Structure 1
Amino acid sequence: MTTLLHISASPRGEASESLSIARTFLDAYRASHPDHRIETFDLWDGTLPPFGPDAAAAKMAVFAGERPTGAQARAWDAAISTFDRFAAADAYLFSVPMWNAGVPYVLKQLIDVVSQPGRVFAFDPERGYTGLLTGRKAAVVYTSAVYGDGRDPAFGADFQRPFLNGWLRWAGITDLTEIEFRPNLATPHADELRRQAHESAAKAAESF
Structure 2
Amino acid sequence: MPNILHIDASARPGRSDETRFGSHSRRLSARFVDAWRAARPQDPIVYRDVGQDPPAPVTGRWIHAAFTPPDQREDWMPEALAESDALVDEVLSADVIVAGVPMYNFGVPAQFKAYIDNIVRVGRTFGFDRSREGKPYWPMVPPGKRLVVTTARGDFGYGPGERLEHSNHVEPGIRTAFAYIGISEMHSVAVEYDEFADERLQDSIAKAEQSIDALVARFVTERHTA
With the shorter chain as reference, the TM-score category is: 0.7 to 0.9
User: Does 1:136 pair with 2:148?
Assistant: no
What is the TM-score normalised by the length of structure 2?
A: 0.81
Any idea what SS the aligned residue of 2:68 has? helix
Aligned partners of 2:23, 2:174: CA distance in 1, in Å? Answer: 19
* Cα distance change, pair 107–191 in 1 and its aligned pair in 2 (3 A): same
The Cα offsets for residues 125-169 of structure 1, whole Å up to 9 and x where unpaired, read as 33232112222111111211125333369xx81111110011111
Give the conservation status (yes or no) of the 8 Å contact 2:54–2:115: no
Aligned partners of 2:115, 2:35: CA distance in 1, in Å? Answer: 26
The Cα offsets for residues 19-51 of structure 1, whole Å up to 9 and x where unpaired, read as 111121112111222221122101144373442
Any idea what SS the aligned residue of 2:81 has? helix
User: Does 1:79 pair with 2:87?
Assistant: no
For residue 20 of structure 1, the aligned residue among 24, 27, 42 is 27
Give the conservation status (yes or no) of the 8 Å contact 1:147–1:158: no
Give the conservation status (yes or no) of the 8 Å contact 1:29–1:205: yes
* Cα distance change, pair 55–144 in 1 and its aligned pair in 2 (3 A): same
Aligned partners of 1:162, 1:200: CA distance in 2, in Å? Answer: 20
CA shift, 1:190, in A, is 1.5
Give the conservation status (yes or no) of the 8 Å contact 1:9–1:104: yes
Percent identity of paired positions between Structure 1 and Structure 2: 25
Any idea what SS the aligned residue of 2:174 has? helix
Give the conservation status (yes or no) of the 8 Å contact 2:57–2:117: no
Aligned partners of 1:50, 1:68: CA distance in 2, in Å? Answer: 20
| Match in the other structure for 1:196 | 207
| Match in the other structure for 1:151 | 163
Aligned partners of 1:72, 1:122: CA distance in 2, in Å? Answer: 19
Paired residues in the alignment total 204
Gaps of 5+ in 1: none
Superposed, 1:175-194 pairs within 5 Å as 175-183=185-193, 185-186=195-196, 188-194=199-205
User: Does 1:67 pair with 2:79?
Assistant: no
What is the TM-score normalised by the length of structure 1?
A: 0.88
Q: Tell me which protein shows more strand as a share of its residues.
A: 1
Aligned partners of 2:83, 2:164: CA distance in 1, in Å? Answer: 43
Aligned partners of 2:72, 2:105: CA distance in 1, in Å? Answer: 38
Superposed, 1:25-64 pairs within 5 Å as 25-46=32-53, 48-62=55-69
Aligned partners of 2:218, 2:47: CA distance in 1, in Å? Answer: 20
Compare relative contact order (CA 8 Å, sep 6+) and give the higher one, 1 or 2: 1
* Cα distance change, pair 184–23 in 1 and its aligned pair in 2 (3 A): closer
Give RMSD over aligned pairs: 2.2
CA shift, 1:120, in A, is 0.8
Question: Which amino acid in 1 is paired with 2:26?
Answer: L
